[in-house]
Chain A
Amino acid sequence: MGSDEEDFVFHGTPIEREEEIASRKKKAVAGASGNLRTLPAWKQEVTDEEGRRRFHGAFTGGYSAGYYNTVGSKEGWAPQSFTSSRQNRAGARKQSISDFLDEDEKADMEGKSLSASSQFDTFGFTAAEHSRKHAEKEQHERPSAIPGPVPDELVAPVSESIGVKLLLKMGWRRGHSIKEVRASSDARREARKAFLAFYTDENTKETPDSLVSETEVETSLGEDIKISESTPVYVLNPKQDLHGLGYDPFKHAPEFREKKRSRMSANKEVGFRKPLSMKESLFGPKSGKIAPGFGIGALEELDVEDEDVYAGYDFDQTYVIEDEQPARQSNDNRLRLTSKEHDVLPGFGAAKNSDYSMERFNPPIIPKDFVARHKFSGPLEAETKPTVSAPPEVPPPADNNLKLLIEGFATFVSRCGKLYEDLSREKNQSNQLFDFLREGNGHDYYARRLWEEQQKRKDQSKLTLDVKVSPTVQKMTAETRGSLLGEKPLQRSLKETDTSASSGGSFQFPTNLSDTFTKSASSQEAADAVKPFKDDPAKQERFEQFLKEKYKGGLRTTDSNRVNSMSESARAQERLDFEAAAEAIEKGKAYKEVRRATEQPLDFLAGGLQFTSGGTEQIKDTGVVDMKSSKTYPKREEFQWRPSPLLCKRFDLPDPFMGKLPPAPRARNKMDSLIFLPDTVKAASARQVSESQVPKKETSIEEPEVEVEVENVERPVDLYKAIFSDDSEDDEDQPMNGKIQEGQEKKNEAAATTLNRLIAGDFLESLGKELGFEVPMEEEIKFRSKPEDSSDKRLDRPGLKEKVEEKTSSLKLGSEEEKSRKKREKSPAKRSGGNDLSSSESSGDERRRKRYNKKDRHRNDSESDSSSDYHSRDKQGSRSRSKRRESSREKRSSHKKHSKHRRTKKSSSSRYSSDEEQKESRREKKRRRD
């Protein structure tokens, strides 16, 4: 059969089977893309039509979807970091299903979502949405002038909804209401017409019939119907206020909107605003009125105190108006509305009113000489003189007298004002000498002089008739006036009359009046400004009248109610005086001027007296006075002062107190622990160290005890105890046992110098005074006179004193003391037990004291050199006080010392024993007394 096979003849190419071809093709394609053929099966990859690998191994992800085997995005499932800061708030992220879908899946979903096509979008939502999106996109592409997303209101839908189209076909026009106009009769006709129009397409609308009927309808309609609701709000209510776009002033207070509207309508009718009462609408049920400008919180209730105390103040008028448009606009508004009423075609606005033009005002014209910088004017300057252009320099007239006269007159006029010039010109009409006032001889020179003077005195205000007085001056009392002038009530002392006489050397002041002024000028503070014309009551009265008139403002009526007994000239002169005096009151400094002005100006002019500056003489006079009065004054005192070592170091100086006086710094440290002392006291205490050393030196007491004491003063409580015990003890002890006292004092002295004690001493003194205790002086003197002789006694009863002190320290008041004493007397049997203890105690004390005595001697030598300091301080009369303080201090300190001593012992001895000691001491004392 094999040969059979060989015999076959094949023609053409054999047709391969289709499947085979397809599979081969596939393979070829695949092979071309991925060389599949060559790859083993487990390495071959399946990709989708875009070449993405979709199938993974079971252990490497299975079926994959999305972006590089992730979902949706590059980040895929990778957690996004959440950040939200105050500036960049992280908005709530909205996730939708589309976030997790591939585009193919989305394409699948597409068909399922329902949305109105724009054609049937009746309310334009879709269109609006669309256009908004479009606008947003556009905005991203080219940023507009307004940053941020465009407000919805600005982006109007472009397309018309089917409803609008329908309506339009029905004959409705934009701007017209849809509501039934004539419900009963016309409704059917209209409906029919609309129906017709809709179905017969465009041309039917143009039938004359319908047109006519429409116009008929509209013309017959009232105004209110024509302004329909469908008209956009901005057409109906054009923006007429000056608020920013979209700003609604009544956003949070709609009540006011209502009010405003009603007011506007009122405007329309009446033409002026008729205020509506807000009370009813807003606060009606709650309260009457609240004060304008002070709102209450939303959660607060109006209360009594919120009521407006300024009754009659129209709240409505003032409050609501302020954020309203200018009054003119209401006018405008009315115009527009009225014009609409008449013949405006439907659908047409009154154009001339819509382009609302606001009236603009030009800015104020700045004067050319304006300097944009504020110059501080003097508080005392009532007004500044306008700068007058300088008259040309003119040589003085040949006549020396005339020259002097002119100069003096110019000075005077510059001081007293133009008024004076006018007055004197008037007065001296006929006087040849005063020709210079009237264009005569020397006028130019006078003008020049006057200008110069004025320049000189430009700081001082020119006194004019209608001077504006500050309101404070208006209510000037005698005191304020006096204080303005800076003085105390005038004392007529000998010294002052002296000064007036001496200062009057160059001038003779003819009147008492000038005398007073001279005095005020010379002593600069003593004068009675209250009554400058005190010597002449009538004149003073007139002066007050004058002041009153003047400060009432306006022009004064001269001689309104004055007695006309004076001559014209006298009155004029007096008035000048008054003016000047008033001026002086106004500016308290111008004493000299006042004097010049008040002292007979005409006499001086006529006499041609030399017009000296006078200032220096004045000064000298007062200087003399002051020297006289301050003869006593530069008083020199010297004190000890201790610079801190660091200060000396910083100044590169050796510390003068190096090695001396250790207490000061140490005490300061201790002081810091005493909280109740303010800083200043601390420092003050430093000073008292030096003070306190005075008696210490005299009695030659030494320091070393200090160490013990400093330890003692730990608690302020001790301090108080000490204070009270000291004083009470003084009362008790001094009269009875002087000797013990002395011994005690000796001990005390040794412990005198701690800083704490010093302060306590101060404290003590004042407290003692308060409590009525006295610290007698004698004791100290006594013990000082014989400081040595008490040692034996001290040895006799070493524990006694301290026991007494201990007792008093524990018992604050004398009454308690008494009680204990009574108790002790009642039970004398207990005494014996305590004796042993006390004796042991005393022996310890004795030992210590001996030690101190040794140190005493050393100390005396070292301290003797600086004792001179203390003497100098002692001279100051503070001797007794400081001594007293010292004594009390000493006592207290000694107490302290012993208390410490005791305290240490107490640890071993019982409380009972201490009681016993006290009692024993009491008894001893009593024995002594007997």
Chain B
Amino acid sequence: MSAAAELPTKEAHILKGHEGAVLAARFNGDGNYALTCGKDRTIRLWNPHRGILIKTYKSHGREVRDVHVTSDNAKFCSCGGDRQVYYWDVSTGRVIRKFRGHDGEVNAVKFNDSSSVVVSAGFDRSLRVWDCRSHSVEPVQIIDTFLDTVMSVVLTKTEIIGGSVDGTVRTFDMRIGREISDNLGQPVNCISISNDGNCVLAGCLDSTLRLLDRTTGELLQVYKGHISKSFKTDCCLTNSDAHVIGGSEDGLVFFWDLVDAKVVSKFRAHDLVVTSVSYHPKEDCMLTSSVDGTVRVWKK
């Protein structure tokens, strides 16, 4: 298969260091570095292309569930079981601010484009927007329309998109002051946005990924074959938007063709649940993290 040949299915490095499950692995903005976080309450900064651990950030009191870096690589934010959102300085490794307010575990965090706010998605059914510019630790806004845990959040220049266990993907458009709720009928585990910004991919807990047209709310395609029923697993699109990637609970990673939803490639990436997949913004390189405690770097 020619398509499969383009995919990063060869293991380039194994990033070992986390003790216990790794819950998220994320490239930074330019893809040169990666941040991972896990059950061991640490966040680790890696050079995935050389397989080197650069720094370990410790401050969380419980497991760290998500992490996101600013576009200028100066700061990053993280969240986890201790109900707080941490705002870190990358170089010094110090926590600049802790945002408290969520009433439950925080599942996901994201910066906006200008890195001026952090949006966190929590178990308390809310999205909260935190201000990084001012010294206020109060949320700028609480979006509380979700009916169940918010699992994932994605930001565009003008919108906040959240995926929730209540089965909805809700888009909050700041330009027109409108909330658009797309009910998928299945708990949404993870959402990710296509690089052209037109589609949103929602990983549902019925072992299905669904591709939605953002303007119309239409279901464009359904991707199946993997297992995603009880764990928080990630899905994403390749940087060319040609393929859809999904981690499976049996340790496999699936590649689907975006258009005809065929499984282009699947391979065993880990022994255990693949918790997170992250695709390089430019190159054909992929990060996967797993409950088995490893992060793997995949290249062509």
Binding site for B on A (CB under 8 A): 375-379, 459, 486, 524-525, 589, 615-616, 619, 622-623, 626-627, 630, 632-644, 646-648, 650-654, 656-657, 679-680, 682-684, 686-687, 869
Contacts and interface: CB of A to CB of B under 8 A. Distances in A.
A525 B205 CA distance: 12
B185 to A, nearest CB: 4
A792 B142 CA distance: 45
Given A627-B222, A641-B179, A656-B177, A680 B114 contact: no
A378 B219 contact: no
A647 B271 contact: no
Contact of B262 (A376, A616, A638, A650): A616
Interface string B168-187: 00001111111111111110
B184 A683 contact: no
Given A627-B219, A636-B183, 16 more contacts: A375-B292, A615-B263, A626-B224, A634-B217, A634-B218, A634-B219, A636-B181, A637-B180, A641-B143, A642-B177, A643-B172, A647-B141, A651-B174, A679-B103, A683-B126, A686-B144
Contacts, number: 150
Interface string B115-149: 01100000011100101010000001111110000
Nearest to B156: A651
B105 to A, nearest CB: 16
Contacts of B261: 623
Q: Which 4 A-B pairs have the closest CB atoms?
A: A683-B144, A636-B217, A641-B179, A656-B177
B185 A630 contact: yes
Contacts of A654: 175
Given A375-B271, A622-B224, A647-B174, A683 B114 contact: no
Contact of B179 (A375, A616, A623, A640): A640
A619 B263 contact: yes
Contacts of B272: 376, 378-379
15 contacts: A376-B271, A377-B271, A378-B251, A615-B225, A616-B262, A630-B219, A633-B219, A634-B183, A640-B179, A647-B129, A650-B114, A653-B174, A654-B175, A683-B126, A687-B145
Nearest to A656: B177
Given A633-B184, A650-B114, A680-B103, A638 B179 contact: yes
Interface in B273-294: 291-293
Interface in B193-231: 206-208, 210, 212, 216-219, 222, 224-225, 227, 229
A623 B180 contact: no
Contacts of B224: 619, 622-623, 626
Contact of B263 (A616, A642, A656): A616
B183 A633 contact: yes
B292 A376 contact: yes
Contacts of B133: 650
Most buried by A among B101, B143, B218: B143
Interface residues of B, number: 60
Interface string B231-256: 00000000000000000001100000
Contact of B182 (A589, A616, A627, A636): A636
Interface string B255-271: 00000011100001001
A376 B112 CA distance: 37
B145 A639 contact: yes
B51 to A, nearest CB: 16
B158 interface: yes
Contacts of A378: 251, 271-272
A643 B141 contact: yes
Contacts of B207: 524
Interface of B: 101, 103, 112, 114, 116-117, 124-126, 129, 131, 133, 140-145, 157-158, 172-186, 206-208, 210, 212, 216-219, 222, 224-225, 227, 229, 250-251, 261-263, 268, 271-272, 291-293
Nearest to A684: B144
Given A376-B291, A630-B185, A651 B117 contact: yes
B220 to A, nearest CB: 9
B251 A639 contact: no
B222 A623 contact: yes
Contact of A634 (B140, B174, B182, B291): B182
Contacts of A376: 271-272, 291-293
Given A589-B227, A637-B181, A680-B124, A459 B250 contact: yes
B185 A459 contact: no
Given A643-B172, A650-B112, A637 B183 contact: yes
Contacts of A650: 112, 114, 116-117, 129, 131, 133, 140
Contacts of B178: 638-641, 869
A879 to B, nearest CB: 18
A652 B114 contact: yes
Contact of A656 (B117, B126, B175, B225): B175
B182 A647 contact: no
Given A650-B116, A687-B144, A639 B179 contact: yes
A682 B126 CA distance: 12
A635 B183 contact: yes
Contacts of B227: 589
A683 B175 CA distance: 20
B271 A653 contact: no
Nearest to B116: A650
Contacts of A646: 131, 140-141
Contacts of A642: 177
Contact of B184 (A623, A634, A641, A644): A634
A623 B131 CA distance: 42
A502 to B, nearest CB: 15
Given A639-B179, A653-B158, A626 B208 contact: yes
A697 B219 CA distance: 34
A202 to B, nearest CB: 77
Nearest to B291: A376
Contacts of A375: 271, 292
Contacts of A377: 271
Given A459-B268, A647-B140, A683-B144, A641 B177 contact: yes
Contacts of B140: 644, 646-647, 650
A123 B251 CA distance: 80
Most buried by B among A635, A641, A653, A656: A641
Contacts of B142: 679, 682-683, 686
A648 B114 CA distance: 12
A636 B271 CA distance: 39
Contacts of B186: 630
A636 to B, nearest CB: 3
Contacts of A619: 224-225, 263
Contacts of B179: 638-641
Contacts of A636: 180-183, 216-217
A240 B217 CA distance: 82
B183 A657 contact: no
Nearest to B213: A634
B212 A459 contact: no
A638 B181 contact: yes
Contacts of A687: 144-145
Contacts of B131: 646, 650
Most buried by B among A379, A627, A636, A656: A636
A850 B146 CA distance: 43
Nearest to A866: B177
A62 to B, nearest CB: 67
A616 B176 CA distance: 43
A644 B131 CA distance: 12
Nearest to B226: A619
B181 A626 contact: no
A831 B192 CA distance: 73
Contacts of B180: 636-639
Nearest to A661: B177
Nearest to B219: A634
A638 B215 CA distance: 12
A635 B216 CA distance: 10
A634 B183 CA distance: 5
